Amino acid sequence: MCGIVGIFSQASCGFQRLSSHDVERLSHRGPDGQGIYNDDYISLGHRRLSILDLSPEGAQPKSTKDGRYTVTFNGEIYNYIELRKELMELGERFYGSSDTEVLLAAYRIWGRACVERFRGMFAFALYDKEARILFMARDRCGEKPFFYYRDQAGFYFASELKALLPLLPQVPDLEPSVVDMYLHYQYVPEPLTLLSDVHKLPAAHTLTISSENWNAEPARYWSIDSIPAEHLPDPLIDKGIHIKNALEDAVKMTLRSDVPVGVALSGGIDSSAIALFAQRNSSQPLHAFCVGYPGRPAHDEREQAKAFAKQQGMIIHEVELPVDGFVDFFPELVKIMDEPIADIAAFGHYAVPAAAARSGIKVLLSGIGGDELFWGYPWARKAAILNQWRVVSPFILEKIVRSKIGRKFVSRLVPDFPLDEAIHSFDTYTPQDQLYLYAAVPDFLVARLMKERVSGVVMRTLHVDNVFAATKTSHQTPKTVPATIIRLLFDTWLSSNCLSLGDRVSMGVGVETRMPFLDIRLVETVMALRQSTPDHRLGHKAWLRDSLQGVLPDEVLARPKSGFQPPVIDWLQGVVKRYATILPEGYLSQAGIIDPLLIDRFIKDDVWDYSRLFFVYKLILLEMWYALVVKGGFCMGHDRRN
């Protein structure tokens, strides 16, 4: 795991190459070393977190022995051992034991199709010096970040905005349409960013540019809702066995490391399964880390986590998060997150890898992805059922559910049909040519009402459908709807909230987080099984629970989902009380995003509930991010351009 940064120039002279200081901005992602590669057209930088091959052979940027190919690579290719063997049979020679060397050899043999063979998480830029081509790729689920900016003089990229922005010729403007999305979703759906002309390379995409093809666009190489038939598991074997074996194999892969590995452990199914399989396949007791809150409220899962860890022979570490600690740390957390992600659990997600780092653990296994892959969100399951009916004839369905007789008929004919959600779906402003999904999330709809009360002049010009640009879908049939819902979850919430947040908070303390539930073999196994046997009507994580019967204790399998549940109201009130005064005269007011008079009146109102608190929290986070990361980052890099 590392940090990458680079500049690719159209011309062979006149561009300013990376300095040591430019690369050091990513030192938190890679505290173990630094490297820069330069030639006439490109400058590549790298910060190293040593996980595999701790010798100098693992250092980057890394070039092939003939000097033609050079890569700066962030991530891990878990199946590098198997690929190395295959490549050696094809005549490739290796001089070290890193997955970076395997990546270079794979590109030399298979070209751009090499990414289709990788199991892992990755974001890299590979330069072909002879052809003057820059090839970039990102893993299938978006575990590793890749930001870029392009003008006619140069192409700039980095793992984080903090490293990218200081390289740019000017401060990018805020994009009001994307701010609108952020206020609804609580994150920015990729490939968008809040800044004009700054993009994210989308998950499961590659990008290839050269002087002859400078304006090339990203190309998708994989999609979760289009799994080829050859990936169908053996139908004679129970699907639960397929899933259990694929999950344990994924955990084995993610245990490959030359440094200690730990586990983020709650009391739930996902992290417990990973902890069990990890300890089962480890020769030494693993360290597990859990989060709790003062007073041990009902949602504090430390006791369950401790009991399970002890049962498995693991070493457990507790982290308690006080309210004042979150409020005091908030500005630093904003900088660590790198882009605004208003997930209130961010402090808890940061505390776990921070504790791991203090214990000398560099790799942390996480249960992220289990909810998205196995229908862990009730609103998503209901949306899948409802949309299957809506795509047939939304007009007839609306007439049925709005009549008393029709509702009675449907409830008897289809007991699991979400009647309340059906009525709600027709009363919301979801475009009729799209699936009903995020409008099922209360915060999404509340944001529209709150926004209207404080919007500045530029926000008032936006069309009401603007926020749905991130969830556009092609024509659907009842059969394709469930897989499309999963894809939308992966392409939005998972990649831009969960994975972005998880990457930044762990890399902020130099810890690599690995997510076995996102292993490509497991994901394709589950999605292939669904082609013949849909499971979205079976309840909360039905397939995963069935596959772990006799593996996890019954009390874990029966436990309802909890996850990180901080004292939300206390944390929101603390942040709003301390920092809301920055809004009336801040950047958002100056840019016309919010109206200074309206926001001043809004934050002085005596009536506060969760919806108001959370909306103001999102504005404070956005305001502070622009000041600390955007403006602050540009000022830090100004000296290199003058």
C-alpha closest to that of 447 among 567, 616, 621, 626: 616
Tens of pLDDT, residue by residue over 105-127, are: 999 999 999 999 999 999 999 99
* Cβ contact 458:176 at 8 Å: yes
CA 45/CA 42 separation, integer angstroms: 10
Q: How far is CA 111 from CA 37, 117, 126, 205, 207, in A?
A: 22, 11, 11, 15, 13
Give the end-to-end CA distance of the chain in Å, rounded to a whole number. 33
Tens of pLDDT, residue by residue over 177-199, are: 999 999 999 999 999 999 999 99
Q: 556 CB contacts (<8 Å, ≥6 apart)?
A: 267, 268, 269, 272, 304, 308
Determine how β-strand 133-138 pairs with β-strand 120-128: antiparallel
Q: Is 60 exceeded by the pLDDT of residue 512?
A: yes
Q: What is the mean pLDDT of residues 130-158?
A: 97
CA 94/CA 128 separation, integer angstroms: 19
C-alpha closest to that of 63 among 41, 87, 90, 35: 35
Q: 228 CB contacts (<8 Å, ≥6 apart)?
A: none
pLDDT of residue 564: 55
What confidence tier does 567 reach under pLDDT thresholds 50, 70, 90? confident
Burial annotation 113-150 (CB, 10 A radius, 16+ → b, else e)? ebbebbbbbbbbbbbbbeebbbbbbbbbbbbbbbbbbb
pLDDT of residue 55: 73
What confidence tier does 642 reach under pLDDT thresholds 50, 70, 90? very low
pLDDT of residue 338: 97
Among the ranges given (35-39, 181-185, 445-449, 555-559), the one the predictor scored with the smallest mean pLDDT: 555-559
Q: Is 80 exceeded by the pLDDT of residue 53?
A: no
What confidence tier does 429 reach under pLDDT thresholds 50, 70, 90? confident
pLDDT of residue 353: 95
Task: Sort residue 18 into left (φ over 0), alpha (ψ -120 to 50) or beta.
Answer: beta
Mean pLDDT, rounded, of the chain: 92
**Radius of gyration (Cα) for the chain, nearest Å?**
24
Tens of pLDDT, residue by residue over 254-274, are: 999 988 999 999 889 999 999
CA 367/CA 372 separation, integer angstroms: 11
C-alpha closest to that of 448 among 618, 624, 615, 596: 615
Question: Which amino acid appears at position 559 of this protein?
Answer: R
Q: 159 CB contacts (<8 Å, ≥6 apart)?
A: 2, 3, 4, 5, 26, 29, 74, 123, 144, 145, 146, 147, 507
CA 407/CA 422 separation, integer angstroms: 10
Q: Which tokens go with 464? A: 């009401």
* Sign, CA torsion 348/350/351/352: positive
Q: What is the mean pLDDT of residues 491-507?
A: 97
pTM for the model stands at 0.95
Q: What is the DSSP letter of 210?
A: E
Q: What is the mean pLDDT of residues 321-343?
A: 93
Which of the pair, 532 or 53, is modelled with greater confidence?
532
Ordered structural domains, the chain, with CATH: 2-174+194-222 (3.60.20.10), 229-374+488-558 (3.40.50.620), 568-640 (no CATH)
Share of the chain above pLDDT 90, in %: 76
Share of the chain above pLDDT 70, in %: 97
Q: Is 60 exceeded by the pLDDT of residue 640?
A: no
Q: What is the mean pLDDT of residues 477-491?
A: 96
Burial annotation 397-412 (CB, 10 A radius, 16+ → b, else e)? bbebbeeeebbeebee
Among the ranges given (192-201, 336-345, 379-388, 426-435), the one the predictor scored with the smallest mean pLDDT: 426-435
Question: Which amino acid appears at position 270 of this protein?
Answer: D
Q: How far is CA 573 from CA 332, 577, 611, 615, 627, in A?
A: 18, 6, 12, 12, 22
CA 465/CA 469 separation, integer angstroms: 7
